[in-house]
Structure formats: structure tokens, C-alpha cells
Amino acid sequence: MQRDVVSELVFWARPDNQPFISDFTKEKPEVPMAAMKKQEEKHMVTVHDVRGQESQFTLEGNGFQYAQHDIPGMDRAEDPTHVETVIIPQTEELVRNITGATRTITFAHRVRCLAVDENLLANNRAPAHSVHSDFTVPGAFRMLETIIPDPEERQQLLKGHVEIINVWRPLKKVERDPLAVCDWTTLDQNDIIRHRLVLPTGWNELGKYVFNPSQKWCYLSSQQPQEALIFRQFDSRKADEGGMSLPHTAFVDPDSADGPARESIEIKMFAFSDVTHVRQ
């Protein structure tokens, strides 16, 4: 049975200038953090349950899709060896099968749980309750330079199809803080805000979003570990259209706000397709 949820999502107000820069190299962290907080705008949104309609949403068409994909030992996601030798390789294989990619490179993974102290909050292990995407187009190219430092190799790869794919799944049935994604076909490109983080180690640029009533937000109720959510965070073919970096956020379901803490794993990777393998 489908169960739509009305919940408060955290967006951003449109800034005067872009990119909106948060410089952590010149001031105490509290200063840029406070400026970021001032940008927040909360809106009540209907998050549509796609249970029973999963096949209607595709990575190509909507920027996300769900896939039945069982990996043994998901309860061992806190074991780095198991993640590196079992979970990541099998997840990369899933992405290659879906995208037609000939090469995948995982560059980040994270196990999330409810943060109960400041140390966990600092490590970003709590579900992220703010509408965002992991990269803008400049941010994605910056990450590509980090992962593929050789300029000639990068240019060769860019002759084909370059994607950043996030694969998210719970470690047990989701009863609290489910993950919502925005159907890319309902997103106005003018509502993307470039948010550049300047850190001592360099910079990254992620996406924040202005609320728009035309946006359609989706989730999968009672999502299970074998129900993987695959969504785009960059598509080189759409670099002139926002890069198909899909907005997403955890949200509060009022009927399960006090339920068991959500535990999940997300795996981020580049997926490269040769020119002859690019899907049209």
C-alpha cells in the first residue's frame, strides 16, 4: 500500500551571488556555518511513495531508479574489509549493468546512523536533513581531476560518457528518516544554487536548491537492504543543463519520528563508458 507523507524539507533562499562561498580558511567555522544557516528556508512538501511503481522511474529518465539487489553480509557494513572486498565490488557491478559503463571507480562510501554526540555529527554520520546534491558541474569536474590526475587520461575519458553515481541502501528496514529524491524532470535549472566550500585541503562545490512547487519528491516506503536506490550526481552529457545532479534529503515521517534509528550505506563512484558504449 502506498503511503505519501507530508513533511518539512529544508531548502535554501536564493542568494544574491553565485557561487555562494563558505570559506573555512579565513574565519572560525562558526562564521560560515551561521551564514549557511541563515540561507535555510523550510517548506511543507508531499513526498510521494513509489512503492509498487518503482519500474516507472529510471536513471536515464528521472535521474534515479530502484533495483532489487541482494548483497550478503550487509549487517557487516561497519567492517572495512567486508565493505572493500564484497559490498563495493558488487555495487560497482550493479552500476555497470545498469549504466553500461565499462569502468567504475568508487571514491567514497559512508555508513550513516543517528548521531548521538558531537563527534558523530562532525563525522557526518547522521542522516542529512537538508535538500542538496553532492556536486555541481564545476564540483564534479574538480573531483574528476582529483581521481584522474593525468590530463590526457581525463580528456580521453571525457570523449565518452562520465557519470557520478550514488548507490544508497538501508542496512535494515527503514522506519525513520527515509531518503527522498527529486524527479529530475520536475526540476527548474534556475533553482540550483552553487555552494562552494573552501577548506584547508582545497575546495568542493555542491548543490543547494530553492523550493519550487513544481518539484516532485519521491521515496520508497519501508525500504529494505535489498532495495538499492541508484541516483545520478553528475552526467557529462548534461553539463549544460545542471549536470543531472539529483537533489536528495532525509526527511521526517511524523508517524515514525520516534522509531528505530536509520542505518544506511551510500557508495559514490565514477562510471565511465567508452564512446562506442555510450547509451543514447
Going residue by residue through the chain, which has 280 residues, state the pLDDT in tens, using 9 for 90 and above.
899 999 999 999 999 999 999 999 999 999 999 999 999 999 999 999 999 999 999 999 999 999 999 999 999 999 999 999 999 999 999 999 999 999 999 999 999 875 433 344 344 455 678 999 999 999 999 999 999 999 999 999 999 999 999 999 999 999 999 999 999 999 999 999 999 999 999 999 999 999 999 999 999 999 999 999 999 999 999 999 999 999 999 999 999 888 888 999 999 999 999 855 444 4
C-alpha–C-alpha distance, residues 214 and 49, integer Å: 17
- The boundaries of the domain holding residue 270 are 20-51+61-277
C-alpha–C-alpha distance, residues 20 and 277, integer Å: 37
Tell me if 7 is assigned to some domain: no
Q: What is the pLDDT of residue 127?
A: 65
Tell me if 212 is assigned to some domain: yes
Tell me if 188 is assigned to some domain: yes
Tell me if 181 is assigned to some domain: yes
Tell me if 2 is assigned to some domain: no
Tell me if 88 is assigned to some domain: yes
Tell me if 9 is assigned to some domain: no
Q: Are 234 and 164 in contact (CB under 8 A)?
A: yes
Tell me if 264 is assigned to some domain: yes
Cell output for 19: 557561487
Our measurement of the distance from residue 110's CA atom to the centroid of its chain's CA atoms, rounded to an integer in Å, reads 11
Q: Are 137 and 18 in contact (CB under 8 A)?
A: no
Q: What is the pLDDT of residue 112?
A: 81
* Overall domain count for the chain: 1
